[in-house]
Structure 1
Amino acid sequence: MSDETRKDYRDTVFLPKTDFPMKAGLADAEPKWLARWQGLDFYKRLRAERKAREKFVLHDGPPYANGDMHIGHALNHVLKDMVVRTQTLLGKDAPYVPGWDCHGLPIEWKVEEEYRKKGKNKDEVDPKAFRAECRAYAQNWVDRQREQLKRLGINGDWDNPYLTMDFQAEATIVSELLKVAESGQLYRGAKPVMWSPVEKTALAEAEVEYEDIVSTQVDVAFEITESPITELVGAYAVIWTTTPWTVPVNQALAYGPDIEYEILPWNGKKLLISKELIPGVLERLMAVSGQIGDVTLTAYGHGQGKQWTGKGSDLAGTIARHPMANLFESPLPLRGGVGGGASPADSADGATPHPNPSPEGEGREPAIDRQSMLAEFFLRPRPFLPGDFVTTESGTGLVHMAPDHGEDDFLLCKAHGIDPVFAVEGDGKYRADWAWLGGQGSVINPKFNGPEGPICSDLKTAGGLLAASADYSHSYPHSWRSKAKVIFRCTPQWFVPMDKPIEAQGKTLRETAMAEIERVRWVPERGANRIGAMVSGRPDWVLSRQRAWGVPITLFVHRQTGEYLVDADVNARIVAAVRAEGVDAWTGTDPQVFLGDAYKADDYERMGDILDVWFDSGCTHAFVLESGRWPDLRWPADLYLEGSDQHRGWFQSSLLQSCVTRGRAPYDAVVTHGFTLDASGRKMSKSLGNTIDPNKVIGESGADVLRLWALNVDWREDHRIGPEIMRGMTDAYRKIRNTFRYLLGALDGFDEAERIAAADMPELERWVLHRLAQLGDELRGCVNDFDFTRYVTVLQAFCVHDLSAFYFDVRKDSLYCDAVDSPKRRACRTVMDTLFHALTRWFAPVLVFTAEEAWQARFPSEDGSVHLLDWPEIDAAWLDAALGQKWETIRAARESVTEAIEPFRREKTIRSSNEAVVRLPEVAGISAADFAEVSIVSAAEYGGDATVVTRTEAEKCARCWRHTGDVDPATELCVRCTGVTA
């Protein structure tokens, strides 16, 4: 009988029925769910319902309030939301208070840009008015980012976030600084620090990024005037540098005590160079000069031309002279530096001079001719000093020392009584009164340093330049904000010492921090090694910045002793004023008000620097977790979660700040993620046009699809995103959504009267419960390990492979065609109900909108929510390893049967597996009839060594479409369907 003439039994089939749409329409639907949650005041309601439960606190690291949400923000906040929601799902009270970093250079720089566009100078604006503009700028971006993050489905206390520019926060930051000061772990000194000439401020390591550049490399000769080794007098010590601008500030030469040195004849001069590096030096000299000199490289390699040879330690007591001394002893014209000019005290960066400056650095003696005094700088002897840092990796084996511009230089010179001279101003120019190149620069300008620039030209005139070429490729630090090169610059700054014992703890800050790094849980584990390496070798923490927008360093320094004032009453007045008026209170209040009757304002200098913004963010644990403003929080945090760059940023500043004031880290665990790259693995850049705007993705595909991507990628490493990747995520989302839709349709009308005990279920249902119990254990492990990629992966695999491709496929016949009260159908619907309750909960932290939509589709409620529920109840008795292994074997056999049928389907010999009869080797533990049902074939027979497929001769049931061999020609129904429709 043909299909066209068969009777229509469709009305008797129990097909799935649901209003849950196949097409999600997330971009339009999600805002409606957000509005619903807002109407329920959902965050507060969740806090009320979780009150008194075990607490889990993730402390939000503050992003900068200076731009739209980018893909890195989106990934980071989805991960945080996943932590909070999964901990909530486990039954804990997991509050989330978002925050923003509002002070510092990024915001100040943007406000300055607006001034520059209008042709204005920031320095002409009243500082209070300027800070008000910075505050308004930050608030604007806080408001914009807040709405964007809310749209991403992040659940948090959005009505009450923390801002570092809140007066309460600013007062706490001041209080934390004063705690450091009171403990004696604060000092003022001049050290070389990373300095941005463009931004005119010191930078923290976290504010610096390294880029490859090409610099001018120079070989400069310093004539040796005195030495215990007579052969060296009149010879020239050769130094090599890629920062020619530091030569005008040279004060000594360093040698390696164990390095072997030799004299090399070159064009009538004797050059002192490391024996190991002579070939490289010769190559540079010959390449630049075009001359062969007294000795060719080949001849030198055969031992010709060698004169004095000795170890670096033999050079002790040797003295050289600066090459520019030749010009200062002659009437040759100099470039700049001929006028009085400003002293360092008037420098553009506004920094206070070194408390114990050298005569050259301060220049306060009006009776002395400044030009003569500064010219004398270039005439004084340059001693040879032993330096353990000198190597033979490159250069000449001799290093010129400029204590103003290098940490090794500074420490070595300081140990030998040589002080910095503060010749380079905050804008990168030499002081106007500097004898050589005064008022010129900027020192980061390639042309200024180039072979034809003034430095090389003057050195050449003085006879000190041996070689110069603008061809040296290397990595160099840049400000990550302005993208301009930075320099090491010695300026007076405030520091927290890393190696001074903290009296209350008996250990140094470095020791305490290293012990805490070992205690804290790091995910992934390599994070401990990364931050440990940074902390173990880091210099003292530079706290001061020379800018306007930030928390001031609220210290009074005695004008005579240089000591800062430590007085609890004074400090209390300062903190109270900042709490009432914000940072403007520091400069806007008469200092005598702070000092009270105990001190005279004329005796003290009020500091004008601001705090490193990393100190601000490092204090967030204090004013967020401890202040009481957010009573649901507590100190310390269970978890910090940020990008891996924060090992040198927020993780470290929080660690150091908390260790110096509290003796421990403010967190017990730290999770880090990598960076998002484009589909080709390149760093995202607006100039490359390869950025992905998360707001656009949300507007087109929905936030749930973006969330699924964020939790699907291997986010612990650098990972990728692109149009093709997002299309894959859309397909993955669709499969999950179809799982919900199928369950909702299959469960239409389900009630408790249908429920059947697990012990009374068929094996297939018990296997599903076994898999569900396995999945529950695995997902709990994922939550505890913060392994969200695996969490999502195993959930997706369960839906696609275990359910859609297997269980749903096998049981759709029973679900659609068995009698309503048949045990098998009741067992199937009971399991599906269990699946629905589990999957909606487990997916709720991932697909926050879709899970809510599915839950409400089945359990509509004005105030109910899937996000108020706990982890699904899983009976441990469901686990059955033997049953699980048995059904894995059955599934493997089923797959082999499907593969065997496929060629017949392609040839259209068999249109459906229901038309197939299979003969195959026996499958242990299941009858042939039951295996036929599992494989969805007409019949199965055991026997033989291979699977054989033939087409059935049995008629098809007009209701269930199965070829069972028991169809009644009169009714066209099989025995089962006859009974159901009777």
Structure 2
Amino acid sequence: FSTELSDLFAPSSSASKRRSRGPVMAAKKAAEGAKQEDGKYKHTVDLPKTSFGLRANSVMREPELQKLWEENQVLKRVSERNTGATFTLHDGPPYANGDLHMGHALNKVLKDIINRYKLLQNHKVSFIPGWDCHGLPIELKVLKSMDKATLNALTPIRLRQKAAKFAKVTVNAQMNSFKRIGIWADWDSPYLTLSPEYEAAQLEVFGQMVMRGYIYRGRKPVHWSPSSRTALAEAELEYSENHVSKSIYAAFKITSPSSSGLLDEFLPNVCLAIWTTTPWTIPANAAVAVNPELSYAVVELQSVLESESTSGGKQQKLGSILSSGIEKPFIIVASDLVSVLESKWGVKLVIRKSFPGSVLEHCRYLHPVNGNECSVVIGGDYITTESGTGLVHTAPGHGQEDYLTGLKYGLPIVSPVDDEGNFTAEAGQFSGLSVLGAGNAAVVKYLDEHVSLILEEPYKHKYPYDWRSKEPTIFRATEQWFASVDGFRDAALDAIKRVTWVPSQGENRIVNMISGRSDWCISRQRTWGVPIPVFYHVDTQEPLITEETIEHIKAIVSEKGSDAWWYMKTEELLPDKYRDKASEYRKGTDTMDVWFDSGSSWAAVSAKRDGLNFPADVYLEGSDQHRGWFQSSLLTSIATTGKAPYSSVITHGFVLDKDGLKMSKSVGNVVDPEKVILGGKDSKKEPPYGADVLRLWVSSVDYTGDVLIGSEILRQMSDMYRKLRGTMRFLLANLHDWNPENSVPYSDLPKIDQYALFQLENVVASMKDSYDNYQFYKIYQTLQRFAIVGLSNFYFDVAKDRLYVGWPS
């Protein structure tokens, strides 16, 4: 309505336009006049000037700076110019198996912070990046990329060539990603575990351990992965908390009691009750073990209280022994477990006699599957009353404690399971069945049919899985090569005390692992790796491995790489001394555990290359490496040099999402370092923050525990980054015309400036102390507080007037 009225009473068009422009032109002339007037005084105000922008333009600017650093070899030139002591941070090799994740970024930025600080402290620093290039994950990726026809025609040497190619491509991709994060390193001379010089150094470590008597071949139970068909080290396992086993209580009938006569009155209906979560190991049973210090009881099964009961909503199956119709069935269990078992089995148990476990030694019982007579033996303190029956079914071919007990009593090491986890012909009627599937169920059924089963129930517990295939493993006795940790365990534990551990609890963790570990299985039944340099006599299968043979092979590998083991003939690989007997020997096919590969890096890098310290000043990796690289490096170094390969060990936690959950592609909570730097497809949801914001995040977290990252955390880091840039921009802009010749003595400065410098001195001292103690998050906090509170909110605000218009005379 108002618009219509204005149109109705509007003057003519041309006159209106002339009149309406009048006020506008007048205002414009007034503004120009004011501007000219202001210009008279512009030169009297010292305005800030700087080319340092508030916006970093990181996506474009950072690569330019990184290229400048690389072309001018900044790390090398600064290090050579420095006159202080050499500082060596030895890089733990990431696995050449895929793109970088946030854990890689955290790890390498922490190392870079340390190296740059040491450079600023006048140290000579040379950082050699490394990669772990052998092992099953790479081999499996190569195999999965081939069609059936290619697989059928695949030879070991061809597989190795493809694996090496894959590893090198991955190394180059990861290297470029590390460069983009801004890591300073000797990128032209990295160490790769597949390089001939590295492999030769590794063989040298192996040879020295052989000559010291620390390497031996034996048939022992080891973690075996049916899915990967190879032995595994402890560090290659993941433990599932949700694994469900088919557990059973079973009865083994006593045929001959001990000489004490304590059990005579209960014959012939007395049995030993055992409990196991691996029924498939029953065919390999060689004994039942008891704890001599525990009290055991003969209990009579008087009545069945329930035909079935429930546990966690899952039905339990009562076995044949409880409904056998035997007039007076007697069962031996630990006395302390009688009431527990009574409730679990749903029966009334009446104690008829009690005695110490030692009384049961040498009792004989009937093997429930093959019908042989076996003995009751004395086990160790691993036999408790926390679960089970207090009597342990013992299969030396399928368990570490069982194996040690078997050695004590000379028990047979039976392991009727093949590489794929199937029963062999030695298992009789179970032959060909998978021990983790149909074979397990078949054993339980057999026990039930032959009146041995007491109870079957699902049991949820912690269980080892192959960390690569994510499938369950088994304990299986096979011929393997071992490093005898017992030979240098005490020396390793003593060396640990002389190492600085950050955080300090890392020392207790590795002490517990070293003191309790068994011998190290170092052989793997795979193609892609460094060969164990051993020959076997074709008739006797006796191994030929001497100082002379190892040195000869090491020389060949140093020149031609470890592929030579596969394409050269036996007579070429043997020294002259054995050439005439070459037809009597064959090459071994096992490769070394990849932890032996990476654990030898000190020998190939720190102890070999010029300008590096051995022992290295610092090792820095994730906390999981206490059972991995830290440990394998320590063991190989102690065994050959008698000292630890590091002076200090720093560990960091895992990177979790914003809610503290493990990152997973399936969950969709993965934070990709590349997207943090370059941005995602939707720049609003995933803006390009640049490497500096990522590095600032690393500096802000207490890395000694698990750390969180997410979109909101990154936004906060970006805001803080801008605040820091704004602070520095203000300082630089106001120093544009400053000349050192115009410096004012501290005593002549105004009190406010003296106070600001006093604050700065405290900040510098605090930050230096935090750097020396590797507490970078404290540096971030100190810097943040000083920049925002001490400078922006106080000093800058007070100093602005005199900065621009001078100090009144």
- Does the alignment reach a TM-score above 0.5? yes
1:463-501 Cα shifts (integer Å, max 9, x gaps): 11111122x11111111111111111111111111223x
**Is 1:625 matched up with 2:606?**
yes
Q: How does 1:428-577 map to 2 (within 5 A)?
A: 428-441=421-434, 443-445=435-437, 448-449=439-440, 453-470=441-458, 472-500=459-487, 509-557=488-536, 564-565=543-544, 567-577=546-556
Distance in structure 2 (CA, Å) of the matches to 1:46 and 1:474: 55
Describe the SS at the equivalent of 2:145.
helix
Distance in structure 2 (CA, Å) of the matches to 1:568 and 1:613: 23
Distance change (3 Å), C-alpha of 1:596 and 1:23: closer
Counterpart of 1:218 in structure 2 is 248
Deviation at 1:46, TM superposition (A): 3.1
**Is 1:17 matched up with 2:49?**
yes
Counterpart of 1:695 in structure 2 is 674
1:314-342 Cα shifts (integer Å, max 9, x gaps): 11121111222xxxxxxxxxxxxxxxxxx
Distance in structure 2 (CA, Å) of the matches to 1:405 and 1:754: 82
1:238-263 Cα shifts (integer Å, max 9, x gaps): 11111111112111101111222222
Residue of structure 2 aligned with 1:676, choices 633, 645, 655: 655
Distance in structure 1 (CA, Å) of the matches to 2:660 and 2:55: 32
Amino acid in the other structure paired with 2:199: E
Describe the SS at the equivalent of 1:12.
coil
Describe the SS at the equivalent of 2:123.
coil
**Is 1:321 matched up with 2:366?**
yes
Given that residues 224 and 232 in structure 1 are in contact (C-alpha distance below 8 angstroms), is that contact kept between their aligned partners in structure 2?
Answer: no
**Is 1:92 matched up with 2:123?**
yes
Distance in structure 2 (CA, Å) of the matches to 1:312 and 1:124: 59
Counterpart of 2:18 in structure 1 is none
**Is 1:800 matched up with 2:792?**
no
Amino acid in the other structure paired with 1:437: F
Counterpart of 2:770 in structure 1 is 782
**Is 1:238 matched up with 2:273?**
yes
Given that residues 96 and 156 in structure 1 are in contact (C-alpha distance below 8 angstroms), is that contact kept between their aligned partners in structure 2?
Answer: yes
Residue of structure 2 aligned with 1:272, choices 317, 323, 332: 332
**Is 1:43 matched up with 2:31?**
no
**Is 1:769 matched up with 2:757?**
yes
Deviation at 1:38, TM superposition (A): 2.5
Deviation at 1:766, TM superposition (A): 1.6
Distance in structure 2 (CA, Å) of the matches to 1:716 and 1:756: 44
**Is 1:183 matched up with 2:212?**
yes
Given that residues 430 and 439 in structure 2 are in contact (C-alpha distance below 8 angstroms), is that contact kept between their aligned partners in structure 1?
Answer: no
Residue of structure 1 aligned with 2:234, choices 205, 226, 229: 205
1:738-759 Cα shifts (integer Å, max 9, x gaps): 1111011111211123211112
Residue of structure 2 aligned with 1:413, choices 406, 416, 419: 406
Counterpart of 2:643 in structure 1 is 664
Q: TM-score, normalised by structure 1?
A: 0.72
Amino acid in the other structure paired with 1:280: V
Describe the SS at the equivalent of 1:272.
strand
Residue of structure 1 aligned with 2:84, choices 33, 47, 53: 53
Distance in structure 1 (CA, Å) of the matches to 2:255 and 2:470: 43
Deviation at 1:587, TM superposition (A): 3.0
Distance in structure 2 (CA, Å) of the matches to 1:47 and 1:122: 50
Residue of structure 1 aligned with 2:743, choices 738, 743, 755: 755
Describe the SS at the equivalent of 1:743.
helix
Distance in structure 1 (CA, Å) of the matches to 2:461 and 2:775: 38
Q: How does 1:52-201 map to 2 (within 5 A)?
A: 53-115=84-146, 118-119=147-148, 122=151, 124-201=153-230
Which of structures 1 and 2 has the larger relative contact order (alpha carbons within 8 angstroms, sep 6+)? 2
Distance in structure 2 (CA, Å) of the matches to 1:223 and 1:767: 89
Distance change (3 Å), C-alpha of 1:498 and 1:757: same
Q: TM-score, normalised by structure 2?
A: 0.87
Counterpart of 1:607 in structure 2 is 588
Given that residues 283 and 427 in structure 2 are in contact (C-alpha distance below 8 angstroms), is that contact kept between their aligned partners in structure 1?
Answer: no
- The total of aligned residue pairs comes to 731
**Is 1:381 matched up with 2:391?**
no
1:505-532 Cα shifts (integer Å, max 9, x gaps): xxxx101100110001111111111101
Deviation at 1:282, TM superposition (A): 2.6
Distance change (3 Å), C-alpha of 1:306 and 1:568: closer
Distance in structure 2 (CA, Å) of the matches to 1:96 and 1:46: 13
Q: How does 1:271-310 map to 2 (within 5 A)?
A: 271-286=331-346, 293=347, 295=348, 300=349, 305-310=350-355
Describe the SS at the equivalent of 1:481.
coil
Describe the SS at the equivalent of 1:691.
coil
Distance in structure 2 (CA, Å) of the matches to 1:433 and 1:567: 35
Structure 2 unpaired stretches of 5+: 1-30, 302-321, 679-687
Distance in structure 2 (CA, Å) of the matches to 1:203 and 1:111: 20
Counterpart of 2:20 in structure 1 is none
Deviation at 1:284, TM superposition (A): 3.0
1:936-959 Cα shifts (integer Å, max 9, x gaps): xxxxxxxxxxxxxxxxxxxxxxxx
State which drifts further: 457-466 or 562-571: 562-571
Counterpart of 2:308 in structure 1 is none
Distance in structure 2 (CA, Å) of the matches to 1:414 and 1:121: 46
Deviation at 1:565, TM superposition (A): 4.1
Residue of structure 2 aligned with 1:713, choices 671, 689, 701: 701
Distance in structure 1 (CA, Å) of the matches to 2:344 and 2:446: 20
Deviation at 1:64, TM superposition (A): 0.2
RMSD, aligned CA: 2.0
Given that residues 401 and 409 in structure 1 are in contact (C-alpha distance below 8 angstroms), is that contact kept between their aligned partners in structure 2?
Answer: yes
**Is 1:587 matched up with 2:580?**
no
Describe the SS at the equivalent of 1:144.
helix
Distance in structure 1 (CA, Å) of the matches to 2:673 and 2:248: 48
Distance in structure 2 (CA, Å) of the matches to 1:232 and 1:315: 14
Distance in structure 2 (CA, Å) of the matches to 1:670 and 1:428: 39
